[in-house]
Amino acid sequence: MDWQKEDLKYIWHPCSQMKDYETLPPIVIDYAEGINLYDINGKCYKDVISSWWCNLLGHCNPRINAAVKKQIDSLEHVIFANFTHKSAITLCQELIKVLPEGLCKFNFADNGSAAIEMALKMSFQYHYQTEHPEKKRFMALTDAYHGETLGALSVGGVDLYSELYKPILLDVVRIEGPDCYRCPYGLERDCCNCECFKKAEEAFEKYGEETAAIIVEPLLQGSAGMKVYPPLYLKKLRELCNKYNVHLIADEIATGYGRTGKMFAFNHAGVSPDIMCLSKGLTGGYMPMAVAITTRKIYDAFYDDYLKGKAFMHSHTYAGNPLACSAAIEVLKILREDNIIEKANKKAEYFNKVIKEKFLPLKNVGEVRSIGLINAIELVKDKETKEPLDYKKRTGYQIYKKALQNGVLLRPLGDVIYFNPPLIIEKNDMDFVTDIALKCTKEILEN
């Protein structure tokens, strides 16, 4: 059977212009192991983007496999309203040990965007039920990405995803976020005092009284091109939210579970959000699951007699799915028992060093930025002025295609090449993927 032809006959792939598939047809993956994907012809591809940033401990991890297999023989799913199960309870017991202080109430969903929607609704309803009905707006940063359902898209700020839909989106207060590579103050992210935070202060002074919550991707704005900013920004934001009675929502869907070098990005700042959204690495990339975690204070505003109408009437069919919970429990065990994050941080030092040595000498590399094992290489037209490349040339996409031919899955963000591998990547693979990425980048830029 011609599997590629059959795929194109039926499937509309996400985040894709399907016309591109005429020259780059879908690659049919047959099996996987570790960071390796193998297609039906036996060709190997190094997955150094963790299959959309979710694969945490490698494909077909034996321990997670066994946990899911064991669970499926006892309970595959059950309605999560007035019913529960041991895997969900155990997951909460284990998660609360590693969460930032104060987060203790778990509301389950089945994907990251849904968790964001829950967080926004939760915040609005809290304020309504605590005699602050005027708080009905949300704040978010420029270049943010929080998902693609309408509420999540509203607080997002990447036009590629949201521009067309603006007529039907929420009216969000947009704060100019930190852009450390092109800092308008001419400062460096490692030694500044977050002078750019004054934009947030101005927005809160003007809109704080009518704002329910601000949502941020802590320390790392992923879809914006892996933009990294200092922990101090989060500390200042926590203080500002306290002053104006505004909830701080942490979108840790992409930054949680060791991606930034700590269990959660907020750990770098030493402060806690009011609501935290998790997904992706939560189940090691195995099963679709998400959770919005909040404080006892917020939870208590919904706790009352049924006829008072204060319940949070938001549900997902697959909320608290036992199979996903079993995978998530095993992920936490592996992280703890095998010291995965600590080992990954040691590897990250090597990875960043190798990438800087190989890529910074190129005339079109403006910056190499890193946090944890995540490394991003921003390609520019002019290194001095930081002028971007002509987006119409799709340089990043051309590098992506070339890298696939050489057995590496990159999928750049525009003209930002990045590596966001499973935490179990080893040095030999770091050397291989960076060599291929360098080779392909040079070939494309020199043509």
What number does CATH give the domain 3-61+339-445?
A: 3.90.1150.10
- Residue 189: strand, helix, or coil: coil
Output the DSSP codes for 289-337: -EEEEEEHHHHHTT-S-GGG--S-----TTTT-HHHHHHHHHHHHHHHH
What are the residues facing 374 on neighbouring strands?
371
Q: Domain extents for the chain? A: 3-61+339-445, 66-337
| Phi (first) and psi of residue 233, to 5 degrees | -60, -40
In this structure, the chain runs to a length of 447
Asked if residue 182 lies in contact with residue 416, where contact means CB atoms within 8 angstroms, the answer is no
Q: What is the pLDDT of residue 392?
A: 95
Report the distance separating Cα 380 and Cα 91, nearest Å. Answer: 44
- For the chain, give percent helix, strand, coil, nearest 5: 40, 20, 40
Report the distance separating Cα 213 and Cα 244, nearest Å. Answer: 10
**Topology of domain 66-337, CATH:** Aspartate Aminotransferase; domain 2 (3.40.640)
Residue 86: what residue type?
A: K
Q: What global pTM score does this model have?
A: 0.97
Asked if residue 350 lies in contact with residue 430, where contact means CB atoms within 8 angstroms, the answer is yes
pLDDT tens for the 447 residues of the chain, in order: 999 999 999 999 999 999 999 999 999 999 999 999 999 999 999 999 999 999 999 999 999 999 999 999 999 999 999 999 999 999 999 999 999 999 999 999 999 999 999 999 999 999 999 999 999 999 999 999 999 999 999 999 999 899 999 999 999 999 999 999 999 999 999 999 999 999 999 999 999 999 999 999 999 999 999 999 999 999 999 999 999 999 999 999 999 999 999 999 999 999 999 999 999 999 999 999 999 999 999 999 999 999 999 999 999 999 999 999 999 999 999 999 999 999 999 999 999 999 999 999 999 999 999 999 999 999 999 999 999 999 999 999 999 999 999 999 999 999 999 999 999 999 999 999 999 999 999 999 987
Q: Dihedral angle at the C-alpha atoms of 132, 133, 136, 139, nearest 10 degrees? A: -10
What are the residues facing 36 on neighbouring strands?
33, 46
